[in-house]
A and B are shown apart, each in its own frame.
Chain A
Amino acid sequence: MNGSGERSIERLGGLIHSMPKTAFLFLGGCVAISALPPLNGFVSEWLVFQAILLSPSLPQWTVKLLVPAVGVALALSATLGAGCYIRAYGVAFLGRPRSEAARTATDPDRWSLGTMAVLLTMCLMAGLLPSLVIDTISPAAKDFVGGRMPTQAELSWLSIAPVAESRSSYNGLLVFVFILFSAYSARWIIHKFGSARSRRAPAWDCGYIETSPMTQYTGSSFAQPIRRTLGVIAFSVKERLDMPAPGDMRPARLSIEIKDRIFDYLYAPLTRAVETCASGLNILSLLTIQEYLALVFGALVFLLVLVAI
Chain B
Amino acid sequence: MNFLFDLVAQGAQMLLALALAPLLIGFVRKLKARLLHRKGPPIIQPWRDIIRLLRKEVVLAENASWLYRSAPYLIFAMTWVAASLVPTFATGLMFSWAADLIAIIALLGSARFFLALAGMDIGTSFGGIGSSREAMFGSLAEPATIMIVFTVSFVAGTTQLSEIAAYMAGNLELRASVGMALVALLIVAIAENGRVPVDNPATHLELTMVHEAMVLEYSGRYLALIELASALKLLLYISLIACVFFPVGLARHDAGLQAMAIGLGAYVLKLAIGEGLLALFETSRAKMRVFRVPDFLGAGLMLGLLATLLVFVTRSL
Q: Which residues of A contact B (CB under 8 A)?
A: 13-14, 16-17, 20, 23, 27, 31, 34-37, 42, 45-46, 49-50, 52-53, 56, 61, 64-65, 68, 71-72, 75-76, 78-80, 82-83, 86-87, 89-91, 94-96, 159, 166-171, 174-175, 178-184, 186-187, 190, 193-195, 197-206, 208, 213, 215-217, 221-226, 228-230
Tell me whether A79 and B100 are in contact (CB under 8 A): no
Which residues of the partner chain B approach A225 to less than 8 Å between Cβ atoms? 132-133, 135-136, 290-291
Tell whether B267 is near chain A: CB-to-CB under 8 Å. no
Q: How far, in whole Å, are A213 and B123 apart by their CA atoms in the complex?
A: 7
Q: How far, in whole Å, are A61 and B312 apart by their CA atoms in the complex?
A: 10
Which residues of the partner chain A approach B122 to less than 8 Å between Cβ atoms? 95, 203, 205
19 contacts between A and B (CB under 8 A): A37-B103, A52-B150, A53-B153, A68-B308, A68-B312, A71-B146, A86-B113, A96-B63, A169-B100, A171-B99, A186-B73, A190-B225, A194-B224, A203-B122, A205-B217, A217-B127, A226-B135, A229-B136, A229-B294
Counting residue pairs across A and B whose Cβ atoms lie within 8 Å, the total is 273
Per CB-CB distance, the 4 closest pairs between chain A and chain B, nearest first, are A217-B128, A95-B123, A90-B120, A194-B54
Encode B74-112 as 1/0 by CB contact (under 8 A) with A.
101110110000000000000101111011001101100
Tell me whether B158 and A190 are in contact (CB under 8 A): no
Tell me whether A195 and B120 are in contact (CB under 8 A): no
Tell me whether B136 and A226 are in contact (CB under 8 A): yes
Q: B13 → chain A, closest Cβ, in Å?
A: 13
Q: How far, in whole Å, are A183 and B122 apart by their CA atoms in the complex?
A: 22
- Nearest B residue to A191 via CB reads B221
Q: Which residues of B contact A (CB under 8 A)?
A: 54-67, 73-74, 76-78, 80-81, 95, 97-100, 102-103, 106-107, 109-110, 113, 116-117, 119-129, 131-133, 135-136, 138-140, 142-143, 146-147, 150, 153-154, 157-160, 163, 204, 206, 216-217, 220-221, 224-225, 290-291, 294, 301, 305, 308-309, 312, 315-316
Which residues of the partner chain B approach A203 to less than 8 Å between Cβ atoms? 61-63, 122-124, 217
Which residues of the partner chain B approach A50 to less than 8 Å between Cβ atoms? 159
Which residues of the partner chain A approach B146 to less than 8 Å between Cβ atoms? 49, 71-72, 75
Q: How far, in whole Å, are A181 and B113 apart by their CA atoms in the complex?
A: 20
- Nearest B residue to A55 via CB reads B312
Given contacts A182-B76, A197-B57, contact A230 B139 (CB under 8 A): yes
Q: How far, in whole Å, are A204 and B222 apart by their CA atoms in the complex?
A: 15
Tell me whether A75 and B220 are in contact (CB under 8 A): no
Given contacts A82-B109, A166-B158, contact A190 B61 (CB under 8 A): no
Question: Which of A14, A83, A87, A184 makes the CB contact (< 8 A) with B123?
Answer: A14
Given contacts A64-B316, A79-B109, A170-B98, contact A198 B220 (CB under 8 A): yes
Tell me whether B59 and A222 are in contact (CB under 8 A): no
Which residues of the partner chain B approach A42 to less than 8 Å between Cβ atoms? 103, 106
Additional A-B contacts beyond A14-B123, A169-B97, A217-B128 (9; CB < 8 A): A16-B121, A49-B146, A56-B315, A79-B138, A83-B138, A167-B159, A195-B56, A205-B126, A229-B136
Q: How far, in whole Å, are A14 and B65 apart by their CA atoms in the complex?
A: 9
Q: How far, in whole Å, are A305 and B77 apart by their CA atoms in the complex?
A: 77
- Nearest B residue to A77 via CB reads B143
Q: How far, in whole Å, are A168 and B154 apart by their CA atoms in the complex?
A: 12
Tell me whether B107 and A71 are in contact (CB under 8 A): no
Q: A107 → chain B, closest Cβ, in Å?
A: 15
Q: How far, in whole Å, are A213 and B120 apart by their CA atoms in the complex?
A: 12
Tell me whether B65 and A94 are in contact (CB under 8 A): yes
Tell me whether A68 and B309 are in contact (CB under 8 A): yes
Which residues of the partner chain B approach A193 to less than 8 Å between Cβ atoms? 54
Which residues of the partner chain A approach B124 to less than 8 Å between Cβ atoms? 203, 205, 208, 216
- Nearest B residue to A189 via CB reads B54
- Nearest B residue to A201 via CB reads B59
Which residues of the partner chain B approach A31 to less than 8 Å between Cβ atoms? 110, 113
Question: Which of A45, A180, A200 makes the CB contact (< 8 A) with B77?
Answer: A180
Question: Which of B99, B158, B309 makes the CB contact (< 8 A) with A65?
Answer: B309
Tell me whether B95 and A174 are in contact (CB under 8 A): yes
Which residues of the partner chain A approach B76 to less than 8 Å between Cβ atoms? 182-183, 186
Q: How far, in whole Å, are A2 and B160 apart by their CA atoms in the complex?
A: 46
Q: B168 → chain A, closest Cβ, in Å?
A: 16
Given contacts A34-B113, A179-B81, contact A190 B60 (CB under 8 A): no
Most A-side CB within 10 Å, residue of B110, B122, B140, B291:
B110
Q: How far, in whole Å, are A23 and B68 apart by their CA atoms in the complex?
A: 13
Q: How far, in whole Å, are A96 and B121 apart by their CA atoms in the complex?
A: 8
Question: Which of B117, B142, B160 makes the CB contact (< 8 A) with A78?
Answer: B142
Tell me whether A86 and B117 are in contact (CB under 8 A): yes
Tell me whether B216 and A205 are in contact (CB under 8 A): yes
Which residues of the partner chain B approach A184 to less than 8 Å between Cβ atoms? 73
Tell me whether A96 and B100 are in contact (CB under 8 A): no
Q: How far, in whole Å, are A159 and B100 apart by their CA atoms in the complex?
A: 12
Most B-side CB within 10 Å, residue of A82, A171, A203, A224:
A203
Tell me whether A223 and B100 are in contact (CB under 8 A): no
Which residues of the partner chain A approach B97 to less than 8 Å between Cβ atoms? 159, 169, 171
Which residues of the partner chain A approach B106 to less than 8 Å between Cβ atoms? 35-37, 42, 45-46
Given contacts A35-B106, A36-B110, A75-B142, contact A198 B59 (CB under 8 A): yes
Tell me whether A94 and B120 are in contact (CB under 8 A): yes
Which residues of the partner chain B approach A201 to less than 8 Å between Cβ atoms? 59-62
Q: A44 → chain B, closest Cβ, in Å?
A: 12
Q: How far, in whole Å, are A230 and B309 apart by their CA atoms in the complex?
A: 23
Q: How far, in whole Å, are A135 and B239 apart by their CA atoms in the complex?
A: 36
Which residues of the partner chain A approach B305 to less than 8 Å between Cβ atoms? 68, 72
Which residues of the partner chain A approach B160 to less than 8 Å between Cβ atoms? 166-169
Tell me whether A68 and B150 are in contact (CB under 8 A): yes
